[in-house]
Amino acid sequence: METLQELGFLYSIDEPSHDEPFIIEGKGKDFVTVPYTFHMNDISSFPFEGYNPQGYEQALRDEFDQLYEERASRRRLMLIGMHDRINGHANRIRVLDRFLTYARSHDDVWFARKDEIAKWALEHKEDTPILHRGPASVTGLPGT
């Protein structure tokens, strides 16, 4: 994290265990972690054999619908990890297009890149969880 900060980065995506962005304080600067989930990632969603486009589309809709309902009580984030060599095929683009059309038909949904999410988190610290890491000798985590 400190190396990324020194290089001018505002965030990383190296955290699969949280479902919303959070801030880590380190070396006198705030650093955002934007979650990177695996279950909606195209690498885990597209097996080489037995790919079911309708099943993937339904999984996207189910994930979205659940999170959309939960937004009434807390902020929610849905990440779809995509790689051009996996998701960049004609039949997969159609699935994604149908899903995005569906999701965009709902009110109060923000479609953002990870850098936009990180900037928002830094601008709205009062609404963003802050993780306080202790020294590495106590937490076992690298850092302060």
Please indicate, yes or no, whether the overall pTM of this predicted structure exceeds 0.75.
yes
Could you tell me if 7 and 1 are in contact, meaning their C-beta atoms sit under 8 angstroms apart? Answer: no
- Among 100, 119, 108, 110, residue whose Cα is nearest residue 34: 119
| Res. 109 pLDDT band, cuts 50 70 90 | very high
Residue 10: pLDDT over 60: yes
Domain positions in the chain are 2-36+51-139
| Res. 89 pLDDT band, cuts 50 70 90 | confident
According to the model, what pLDDT value does residue 141 have? 60
Rounded distance between C-alpha atoms, residue 69 and residue 39, angstroms: 19
pLDDT digits (tens, 9 = 90+) for 40-85: 877 776 666 777 788 889 999 999 999 999 998 988 889 888 888 7
| Torsion 121-124-127-130 (CA) sign | positive
